[in-house]
Chains A and B, each alone.
Chain A
Amino acid sequence: GAGVSQSPSNKVTEKGKDVELRCDPISGHTALYWYRQRLGQGLEFLIYFQGNSAPDKSGLPSDRFSAERTGESVSTLTIQRTQQEDSAVYLCASSYAPGPNQPQHFGDGTRLSIL
């Protein structure tokens, strides 16, 4: 596809369950970012991948959160033992390369609701 694709678009789950969110970046984009947007707030950075380099995980809020990316392809964000405060829209973005002159292209997000 032409843009960043995320799935599922919506996820409702019970507290304590694990969830996995998927992001397909634009083909050829080496940089991939995950953000979280809580209701009425701006986006919070979670994690960054660049090629085969070690990811920057500095934004992950707890050890229940993890993410993987193989090479320059799909990424998955996993939240274990979900809590109600995890409810948010999770957005993925990719760019051709890192740096301010390379715009980030965002997916439509996954809306996660924890009951």
Chain B
Amino acid sequence: GDSVTQMEGPVTLSEEAFLTINCTYTATGYPSLFWYVQYPGEGLQLLLKATKADDKGSNKGFEATYRKETTSFHLEKGSVQVSDSAVYFCALSLSGGYNKLIFGAGTRLAVHP
């Protein structure tokens, strides 16, 4: 079935380090791909998205590129800040559908000064 797999956390980094959180997916058709973020004490928020192959989503210094050949949508940031500490969820929605989201398990990121 359709699914999303993302790297297990927690990921612990020092401030200004480079971040990669891996995400791969299995889906029929051509899904849209998303990264959501949940900051401590806050609700889930959309971080970025890509709706077709080779699209790059970006927001707040984060980027992810939709790679159809490797069925991946890895999240990257060149220089993380303490304020980026949160749980990050990779998700997909299926083409032709109504945007029902299928989520990965989430990756907790902790950034230390």
Binding site for B on A (CB under 8 A): 3-4, 31, 33, 35, 40-45, 48, 50, 56, 59, 91, 93, 95, 98-104, 106-109
Contact = CB atoms under 8 A, between A and B. Distances in A.
Nearest to A108: B43
Contacts, number: 63
Contacts of B82: none
Contacts of A108: 42-43
A31 B103 contact: no
Interface of B: 4, 32, 42-46, 49, 51, 89, 91, 93, 95, 97-106
Given A41-B105, A100-B32, A100-B51, A91 B44 contact: yes
B89 A42 contact: yes
A45 B40 CA distance: 22
B51 A101 contact: yes
22 contacts: A33-B101, A35-B101, A40-B105, A41-B106, A42-B106, A43-B44, A43-B103, A45-B102, A48-B98, A48-B100, A91-B43, A98-B97, A100-B32, A100-B51, A103-B46, A103-B49, A104-B99, A106-B43, A106-B45, A107-B43, A108-B43, A109-B43
A10 to B, nearest CB: 14
B100 A56 contact: yes
Q: Top 6 closest A-B pairs, CB basis?
A: A98-B98, A100-B32, A42-B103, A106-B44, A43-B103, A42-B105
